[in-house]
């Protein structure tokens, strides 16, 4: 196990807890997985990939955007989302790798 260089101050621990809470929702993980696979996608495409309604996908994407994990841009009538926080892919790689190892 890697030792952290120094303890995080309480305010950063609160931010970390909020980040883990956001990532603890299966619908948000499905949306992030679809985004990491596609790079960028519309709400409609993401909702379809994640098996969510358009409204539910929009709600989750808005929360992820407010936390700075995803970004969006207008493209005519559509809003396209993408992962903007590089720690998201790192966390997913670590977790997915551990789960794959446990499954074998």
Contacts for 61 with CB less than 8 Å, ≥ 6 apart: 31, 43, 46, 70, 72, 81
Token pair 């936390």 is found at 67
What are the domain boundaries of the chain?
12-103
The structure's pTM equals 0.82
CA distance 30 to 60: 10
From 85, 23, 90, select the one nearest 60 (Cα to Cα).
23
pLDDT tens for residues 7-65?
878 888 888 888 889 999 999 999 999 999 999 999 999 999 999 999 999 999 999 99
The CATH number of the domain covering residues in 12-103: 1.10.10.10
Within 8 A by CB and 6+ apart from 82, the residues are: 35, 39, 40, 41, 70, 71, 72
């Amino acid at each position: 196990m890697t030792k952290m260089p120094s303890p995080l101050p309480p305010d950063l621990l609160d931010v970390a807890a909020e980040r883990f809470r956001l990532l603890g929702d299966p619908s948000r993980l499905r949306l992030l997985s679809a985004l990491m696979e596609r790079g960028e996608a519309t709400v409609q495409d993401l909702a379809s990939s994640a098996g969510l309604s358009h409204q539910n996908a929009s709600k989750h994407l808005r929360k992820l955007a407010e936390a700075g994990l995803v970004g969006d841009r207008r493209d005519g009538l559509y809003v396209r989302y993408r992962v903007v926080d590089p720690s998201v892919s790192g966390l997913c790689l670590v977790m997915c790798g551990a789960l794959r190892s446990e499954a074998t």
